[in-house]
Amino acid sequence: MKFLSSLTLILSLAILTLSANNNDLKPCAGTTKSGQPCNMKVTPPETYCRFHNPNAIHCAGTKKDGTPCKMQVTKQGDYCHYHSSQSISHPINK
């Protein structure tokens, strides 16, 4: 009986932890282009979603209209999958 009750305790603790994690999600502090608050949920201590993170590294490519690409990449100087061809057509040894 002692084993069963401790198992129940562990299970309820696990359920509590899971629901606590869900409650920890906070809305992104960023705003969308239309000025509305961003609806993306983030996990503290993050305050911005991946689209609004000021520390995010963006694609080194440029869009057709000449503006910098906003796609997030993992490394500085990387290209998103849309612009990976730009890195090939513009080699480093220009």
Residues binding Zn ion (CB under 5 A): 28, 30, 38, 40, 49, 51-52, 59, 61, 69, 71, 80, 82-83
Q: What would the two tokens of residue 62 be?
A: 């440029």
Output 26 or 52, the one with its CB closest to Zn ion: 52
Query: Strand 26-27 relative to strand 41-42: parallel, antiparallel, unpaired?
Result: antiparallel
Output 2 or 81, the one with its CB closest to Zn ion: 81
Output 49 or 56, the one with its CB closest to Zn ion: 49
What distance lies between CA 14 and its chain's CA centroid?
26
Among 87, 86, 53, which Cα is nearest to 70's?
Answer: 53
CB of 3 to Zn ion, least distance (A): 47
